[in-house]
Amino acid sequence: MYENIALVGATGAVGTIVRQLLEERNFPFKSMKFIASKRSAGTKIMFKGDEYTVVELEPDAFQGVDLIIASTPDEVAAELVPWAKTAGAVVVDESGFHRMLADVPLVVPEVNPEAAKNHKGIIASPNCSTTQMVVAMKPIHDAARIKRVVVSTYQATSGAGLAGNVDLEEGTKAAVNGEDYQYKAFSHPIAFNLIPQIGSQKHKGYTSEEMKMVWETQKIFEDETIQVCPTAIRVPVANCHSESILVETEQKLTAQQARALFEAQDGITVVDDLDNGIYPMPNNSSGSDEVYIGRIREDISSTNGIAFWCVSDNLRKGAATNAVQIAELLIAQSTE
């Protein structure tokens, strides 16, 4: 049973949302500990009516802890996991450091909850753009088996952290006023612009962000034959990632069948009324834990293709919510 909980990165952007979710979802715990870097140690946090003092991240911070949700950069995750294991705690890791290790389950609870049972002290949460896509893929794959995915992502500046949103806001103000602005998070202006590169060159002209979607999707579905062709684009939107997705299946599905499958899937909300201009957009999806799907249609260029539009809050379902759901899953599985 997991009763003594710790949140690492408690004062960061995603960590702050995790705290809110733990409170909103009435997450069960006997003791709660909030941990952050030395810079944030000593900060006071209110949680469920009580005041907590943020503890510095160090080996002794995990004593007496059963379950850890960690929202940190890769290098910090690599350091803290051995400390957590020594303390006997299980880590739900939001970083990219452990995702593709063979002995670490990569879990999205709506998609592959059983994989969590195979953990050896670490469970990884996928990249935000992968998470919403595999939730959308799940019902289609179960019904007709997906062979190939072509996806273009339109990723919000919040995916680049606080500096990304500062660049969007301040860069836009400067552009409107005809002033110069020195971008910090992006190598090109994001105001009134699209940047068709997220991450470094990784494989055959694909970027690291794009290859995450390939490798993580195959790992989550335990099927390396699923082909994924991704293009990741940074757009001048503050929050919520959008994706244009085309899936090709072994068996034919109509648009009506696909819609019914989406509607029956936990974690998905269908918003699809083209005649009345109703479909998911970042402006009406932010602050939600759902994956929103619209523009559902049959691919007119192939026999067994379904095309759709997918929007989700990258800071919530793409990061914080998925990690909390994994922690809830662990607790549920421990009582089975």
The DSSP secondary-structure symbol of 319 reads I
Residue 309: Cβ-neighbour burial (10 angstroms; 0-12, 13-18, 19+): buried
Residues in a beta bridge with 91: 68, 122
The amino acid at 35: I
**Smallest Cα–Cα separation from 3: which of 33, 30, 25, 32?**
30
Q: pTM surpassing 0.75?
A: yes
- C-alpha to C-alpha distance for 174 and 176, rounded to whole angstroms: 6
What is the full per-residue pLDDT of the chain (336 aa) written as tens digits? 799 999 999 999 899 999 999 999 999 999 999 999 999 999 999 999 999 999 999 999 999 999 999 999 999 999 999 999 999 999 999 999 999 999 999 999 999 999 999 999 999 999 999 999 999 999 999 999 999 999 999 999 999 999 999 999 999 999 999 999 999 999 999 999 999 999 999 999 999 999 999 999 999 999 999 999 999 999 999 999 999 999 999 999 999 999 999 999 999 999 999 999 999 999 999 999 999 999 999 999 999 999 999 999 999 999 999 999 999 999 999 887
The string of DSSP codes covering 115-184 is GGGG-SSEEE---HHHHHHHHHHHHHHHHH-EEEEEEEEEE-GGGG-HHHHHHHHHHHHHHHTT-----S
Residues in a beta bridge with 92: 69, 123
Please report the domains of the chain, with CATH numbers, ordered by start residue.
4-125+319-334 (3.40.50.720), 130-314 (3.30.360.10)
Active site residues: 128, 241
